[in-house]
Amino acid sequence: MIEKETIKITGMTCAACAARIEKRLNKLEGIQKAVVNLTTEKASVEYDSAKVQVSDMIKAIEALGYKAEKFEEAGFDREKEQREKEIKRLRTEFVVSAILSFPLVMAMILHLLNINLAFLHNEYLQLIIATPVQFIIGFRFYKNAFHALKAKSPNMDVLIAMGTSAAYFFSIYNAFFVPAEPGMMKELYFEAAAVIITLILLGKYLEAVAKGKTSEAIKKLMGLQPKTARVIRNGREEDIPVNEVEVGDVIVVRPGEKVPVDGKIIEGSSSIDESMLTGESLPVEKKVGDIVIGATINKYGTFKFEATKVGKDTVLSQIIKMVEEAQGSKAPIQKVADKVSGVFVPVVLGIAVITFLIWYLAAGDFTHAIVSAVSVLVIACPCALGLATPTAIMVGTGKGAENGILIKGGEYLEMAYKLNAVVLDKTGTITKGQPEVTDILSLGQIQSNELLRLAAIAEKNSEHPLGTAFYERGKREFGSIPDPEGFEAIPGMGVVAVVNRKEIYIGTRKLMAERNIDTKSSETLITQLEDEGKTAMLIAVDKKIEGIIAVADTLKESSKQAIEELKEMGVEVYMITGDNKRTAAAIARQVGISNVLAEVLPEKKADEVEKLKKQGKVVAMVGDGINDAPALATADIGMAIGTGTDVAIEASDITLMRGDLNAIPAAIRLSRRTMRKIKQNLFWAFIYNIIGIPFAAMGLLNPIIAGGAMAFSSVSVVTNSLSLKGFNPYKK
């Protein structure tokens, strides 16, 4: 059985660490897929529970020198506590290291200014000051380097340990074994080793603080959860913890209170603010029978509702889970960085050795050879490379969740950036999906009232929006509607029912043609209705056409604007529907769509999407119904309207919680802005190393400057990703 598990990992320092753990996990028998995220410090694993256990994964990770535990066991609060503890420890280590390094730096500065304070330049004093920085504060680098070398996978810590050790021990050699030239001070580099460690700790501290901010979206979502619920038990109201609410409980919600869990209103009505989940600012009117979502805010009325989803099954819990999984995923563009990181450190070690040999053998300058090799080792850390993509994805997906755009993974965020074609389902997507009867036309002996009654009975068991419109209109006109004696739904065509022992056919021309029913007498009227943008359904009794019932669906207010925005963004827009060509064309004209795919049966929607893909288009399918699920799964990106069915949402890659089409251009804008940040980050990370390493090898870069630049490169990448937090995807 294939299962999913999240493992919390501590001790990773760079992209090479993440790559090493990922490689080790994927080698385990039974592991289907393992993805390690440096930013979240988590491994997302898909595995066969019959072949491998989570304990085996934890052992494999710990064998590489890292700590690991099941994420559920760690818990969110514990994770927060651990992160704050690590930030505090880094801050303390940095402060102590900075205090100890200060005299060494002062000695170097004064030397450059030709100011001689003998006690500061004393080799014994410098050794005493530098040693605790090197081996006590810097112990973490030696420990991690040891584990990395043991695992035959050198990482950033190896570079730091080797670089600072070279500077430290070279200084000892010069201090005690090489006599100073007359009138000259001994060449000591204790300050280089100490300052490099100090600056790297500062970088790690700032990076840890910044990384904590990238997960603020999750914190916000979790903060939405109410703590208590007012439940009616044994005939009286009582407040209980929300985690004790059970399915079927009746809950009372008063004005200004949060809805504790998901459910259905059974008494009362109100306006509910759903903005924290959908991004939609206007309150939504709710009445008996309507669904309410946990964590939304009741504005005015008091109502009672029956709990239908609690705990992990609530919409909010599912959203939190989806965002967490998305933030732990990888975008395809990250594969480039991962491949580079995997070979980067060994290559840098080689460059450092070559640099030393060239300077020593060719120039005969041992001191310069050591300093240049140290600079190469220090400047070349691949941290920024490893943080470039995941930090941007974390902030981007979190920003999406805040605005009602739920993106299931980094690959979908990247794919949305490439979209050049969007296919829109008509009913419930472009339109409100609540058609109403507009015309009842008799063509035979049966009067219009009787036609409506027969249609309402025949469609009573139908789940199609058109059938529902017939039934609801009949219920308003006649009150109670009896059940049909027989019922058969024919997808994409209509229904066949038995009412009072008569066969009732309601549907399209296709249905009538298939059942050999003559429709010539109705053609003119049908054409007229379709040209008006109405959907005309034929009614036949015992295989004779008796009338036409026309329905019209109202356009969503946002549809036309959203379609215009998509066109401006260079995206082709298609409308797909089972409606006939005339009706479809009339609706398309109203919203400005020129590409219309009409008379498409539900099972054929996926085929139409596939055709567009074969034309070289990167296609998004947008739908809301069960019949859209295959097309959503076939498209490069499936977008489900959040107000639609659970099946459609499950089959989609991006869920638009608002229920309006403005979220589509917003999702594309968010994707484009996030990808821009990723490319900026990768460019900076690559360029930084491409420029920095040659400068260091040529002896043009001081080890201290190299250490500072390396430390702050990671911070700059994370900071650039965090700038996404101010982005509003709904603004052009």
Q: Which single residue is written with the structure tokens 């946990």?
A: 294
* Distance, CA of 698 to CA of 359 (rounded, Å): 9
**Other CB atoms closer than 10 Å to residue 485's CB: what's the count?**
13
Cα angle value 135/140/145 (rounded, 5°): 100
Helices 448-458 + 465-478 axis angle, to 10: 120
Looking up tokens 């969503």 gives: 556
Contact partners, residue 349, CB within 8 Å, separation at least 6 = 154, 158, 159, 162, 377
Active site residue 249: no
- Give which of 410, 418, 381, 420 is closest to 678, Cα–Cα: 410
Of 457, 443, 439, 472, which Cα lies nearest the Cα of 539?
Answer: 443
Give the up-direction half-sphere exposure of residue 466: CA atoms within 13 A in the CB hemisphere. Answer: 23
Asked if 192 contacts 167 with a C-beta cutoff of 8 angstroms, the reply is yes
**How far is residue 79's CA from residue 71's CA, in Å, rounded to a whole number?**
9
Judge contact between 437 and 468, C-beta under 8 A: no
What are the counts of helices (DSSP H) followed by strands (DSSP E) for the chain?
26, 26
Give the C-alpha separation, 627 to 629, whole Å: 6
DSSP 179: P
Q: Give the strands of the sheet with 284-286, arranged side by side.
A: 284-286, 270-273, 297-298
Cβ neighbours of residue 219 under 8 Å, at least 6 residues apart? none
Give the position of tokens 């290291």: 97
| Residues present in the chain in total | 732
Q: Given 425, 579, 636, 660, which residue is catalytic?
A: 425
Bridge partners, residue 439, by sequence: 550
Which residue numbers are catalytic? 425
